[in-house]
Amino acid sequence: MPKINKKVVDAAMPNGRDYVIWDSELPGFGLRVFASGKRSYVLQYRSLGRSRRYTIGLHGVWTPETARLEAKAQLGRIAKGDNPAEERMIDRQAITVKDLCQMYLADLDAGLVLGKGGRPKALGTVVTDIGRINRHIIPLLGNRRLKDLVKADVNRMMKDITLGKTRMSAKTKKLRGKSIVKGGAGTAARTVSLLGGMLTYAGEAGLIDSNPAHGIRKPKYAVRQRRLSEDEYRTLGQMLRVAAPSYPITANIIRLIAMTGCRRSEIINLLWKDVDVDHSCLRLSQSKEGFSVRPIGLPVVEFLETELSYADGSYVFPGLGYDNAFGGFPNQWDAIFKGSALDGVTAHVLRHSFASLANDLGYTEITIAALIGHSKGTMTSKYIHTLDITLVMAADSIAGYIHGLLTGEAFRHATFALDHAARKAALDQFLAQARQSPAARSNEQIAA
C-alpha cells in the first residue's frame, strides 16, 4: 500500500470497476477510483461494532494533503464517540420547510392545529392559511432545511412579500374562479405570524429547539379606520333599493351585515338552526371565535321572522343546487358598489361602522364587543338561553338607528344625561309604567 500523494492519484486509472487504494501511513484513509474515472477520498472506520465509510470529497476539490488533514480531524471526532457518516446521512435526510408545511397542512385538515381558545381553526382561517403557505412560504423558503432556518431567512421572506415578489394570478377550484396574489406589508406581516405559529408547532413536535420567527419586527400596515357617515348610510340605503330587484339576496345580506355588525361570512353562511328569534339573538355554531351568541335588534328579528315563514332548506340565504349557501355575493357586491359614491367600501367597513355608531350612542367597549362577537367580549357559553336585557336593548337601539338611516329617515341620535335629576325622572317614569303592567296588578291582587 503506497502513501497517497499527487503522484499516486494521477497514476490511478479506471479498470472497469470501482476500487480503493489504501494509504500506508494513515489507517482507514484511502482513494476511491470509480469505473467512470472519477476519484474521491474516503475514510473507513468502525463505530458501534459496524464498519462505516465516510466520503471526504472529490479529487480536484480536495488535494491529497487537505484530504489527509480532514481524515485526521474526523478520526479525532470518531475517537470521542462521534459518527460522521451517520451524521451526514441524517443531515441529508433533514426535513425542509416544505416538508414542515406538508405536515402542518395534514394536521390542519384533521383539525389538530388549534387556534384561539384551544379550538380547531375556523374553515375560513384554514383556507387563508393554505393560500399563504402555498403562495408565499413554500415558494420563498420551501427548499431551506428546517434546522438551518435563521431570522435572516424569515426577514428576507418578509421583505420579498412586501415588495410583491410573490405576486401572481392563480386559477381556483371554483368555476371561473381566480385568486390575485398581490403581496404587500399586510400580507407579509400576517405570513410571518403564520410561519411563527408553524415553527412553534415544529418545536412542539421536537423538530427544532428555537423559533427563528420570534422577535421579527413586522411592518406596520394600514389599519382600516373607514366608517360610514349618516349621509353615507342614507346613500347606501338608496343604492340597495335600486339594486334589490336585480340582486335581492345580496341586498338583504348587506342590510343584515349593516344592522348586526356580523362578519360577512357569518351572514352569508347563516343557518336557520342558528337563528333564535324568540330570544332575539343568533347562536352561531361556527364563527371566528367558535360558538358565539349575538344579540340582534328588532328590525333584524322582524326580517328573519318574515323570511322564516317561507324558508326552504338549511340556509337563511340559499344558493344554487341542493342546500348550499349563497355564492354570488362577491360579484354582486362589485356590481352594486363599483363606480358608485361608496366605491371601495367593504363588508368590514359596515362592521366597523356598526361598532363606531354604537360608541357614538354611548355604549361601552365591552357591550360593543358582545354585540359584534369580538374576542374580548363574545359570549361563547352553550348554556346561555336568555340574554341580558341591556344587550337586547342596545341591539334594538343600534339596529333601529341604522335601519332608519337606510330607509332615509331624518333624525338625530339620542343623548343621555347623567345628572341625578334626569336619572331620577327616568327611573320614576319606568316604575310608573311597571306599576301599570298586567303582571304588576296581578301581584298586587295576590298580596292583598
pLDDT in tens, 375-385: 654 544 444 44
- Give domain status of residue 211, yes or no: no
Number of domains in the chain: 4
Are residues 142 and 273 located together in one domain of the fold? no
DSSP-derived 3-state class of residue 103? helix
CB count in 10 Å sphere of residue 24: 12
Of residues 415 and 94, the one with the higher pLDDT is 94
- Give domain status of residue 428, yes or no: yes
346 is in which domain, residue-wise?
Answer: 230-406
User: Is the predicted pLDDT of residue 315 greater than 80, yes or no?
Assistant: yes
Are residues 237 and 174 located together in one domain of the fold? no
Taking residues 416-432, what's their average pLDDT?
A: 66
Are residues 88 and 103 located together in one domain of the fold? no
Are residues 254 and 146 located together in one domain of the fold? no
- Give domain status of residue 223, yes or no: no
pLDDT in tens, 326-362: 989 999 999 999 999 999 899 999 999 999 999 998 8
User: Is the predicted pLDDT of residue 122 greater than 60, yes or no?
Assistant: yes
- Give domain status of residue 221, yes or no: no
- Give domain status of residue 392, yes or no: yes
How far apart, in Å, are the Cα atoms of 233 and each of 28, 250, 275, 395? Answer: 85, 17, 26, 17
Are residues 59 and 178 located together in one domain of the fold? no
The DSSP code for 147 is G
Are residues 240 and 383 located together in one domain of the fold? yes
We report the CATH number of the domain holding residue 314 as 1.10.443
We report the CATH number of the domain holding residue 25 as 3.30.160.390
> How high is the pLDDT of residue 179?
66
Are the beta carbons of 387 and 279 closer than 8 angstroms? yes
How far apart, in Å, are the Cα atoms of 422 and each of 27, 82, 287, 417, 419? Answer: 101, 85, 41, 6, 6
Mean pLDDT value across the chain: 85
Q: Which of 189, 204, 219 is the last residue of a domain?
A: 204
Which of 413, 300, 403 lies closest to 362, judged by CA? 413
How much is the pTM? 0.62
Name residue 20's beta-bridge partners. 32
pLDDT in tens, 14-49: 888 999 999 999 999 999 999 988 999 999 999 888
Could you give the CA distance from residue 379 to residue 374 in angstroms, rounded to a whole number? Answer: 9
Are residues 121 and 87 located together in one domain of the fold? no
Which of 324, 266, 326 lies closest to 292, judged by CA? 266
Grid cell at residue 303: 326580517
User: Is the predicted pLDDT of residue 51 greater than 90, yes or no?
Assistant: yes
